[in-house]
């Protein structure tokens, strides 16, 4: 895996990426009619179709959840997930430094609005103001917004055999294990790279291929 990632990093085609800890390190927030229900992991996958991701650097999980609640209240009825990003010391690459910041991924789950092309102008303006505040506070590391799943594909690998589902597709029940943003030439290369990745991980997994939006909200 190190050689695989290093190949794309050295060529400049690895734009971003992160692995996430297990569900025991995650928190799911469901917003309905102005109320929020918070569920700490471990739990199973549910509604695993992302619309956007924000990587945050905070002092504590409570701080991350506070930002997530503000984000969710702008959207209204929605579902978010906050998960710890795997650090080098989590996988034994280096010793854990003293008092490191906590890095988490805030995942905005897709809904009818995002699958139709985006949020309302009012929501976009409010989200933009919140992201600016996050940046000034030194919390927001980076963010990615995804195009609707109608422009994506779901790659299902089973013991090395591939099945391809064209979008739009429904939410997955498999927990999101991580993400990579790559600069690739087209879908043929995407599938080739995904095959190599699947082989490294044993040949059985699900990969959603999504276009990253180039437009600013």
Residue 215 lies in a domain: no
Residue range(s) defining the domain that contains residue 63: 2-209
Mean pLDDT over 128-135 rounds to: 97
CA 110/CA 47 separation, integer angstroms: 8
Residue 137 lies in a domain: yes
Phi, psi at 2, each rounded to 5°? -60, -40
Confidence band of 91 (pLDDT split at 50, 70, 90): confident
Confidence band of 203 (pLDDT split at 50, 70, 90): very high
pLDDT tops 90 at residue 1: no
Q: Residue 10: what pLDDT?
A: 96
Residue 168 lies in a domain: yes
- Structure pTM? 0.94
Q: Residue 215: what pLDDT?
A: 77
- Could you give the number of structural domains in the chain? 1
Mean pLDDT over 1-12 rounds to: 93
Confidence band of 50 (pLDDT split at 50, 70, 90): very high
């Amino acid at each position: 895996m190190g050689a695989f990632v290093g190949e794309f990093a050295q060529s400049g085609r690895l734009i971003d990426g992160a692995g996430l800890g297990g569900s025991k390190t995650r928190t799911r927030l469901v917003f309905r009619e102005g109320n929020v229900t918070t569920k700490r992991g471990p739990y199973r996958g549910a509604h695993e179709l992302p619309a956007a991701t924000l990587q945050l650097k905070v002092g504590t999980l409570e701080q991350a959840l506070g930002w997530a609640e503000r984000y969710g209240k702008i959207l209204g009825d929605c579902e978010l997930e906050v998960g710890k990003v795997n650090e080098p010391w989590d996988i034994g690459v280096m010793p854990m430094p003293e008092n490191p910041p906590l890095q988490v991924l805030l995942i905005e789950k897709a809904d009818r609005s995002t699958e139709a092309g985006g949020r309302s102008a009012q929501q976009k303006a409010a989200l933009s103001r919140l992201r600016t505040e996050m940046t000034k506070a030194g919390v927001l590391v980076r963010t990615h917004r995804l195009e609707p799943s109608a422009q994506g594909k779901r790659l299902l690998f089973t013991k090395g055999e591939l099945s391809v589902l064209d979008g739009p597709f429904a939410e997955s029940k498999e927990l999101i294990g991580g993400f990579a943003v790559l600069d690739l030439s087209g879908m043929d290369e995407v599938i080739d790279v995904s095959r190599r990745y699947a082989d490294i991980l044993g040949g059985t997994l699900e990969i959603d291929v999504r276009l990253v939006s180039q437009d600013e909200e």
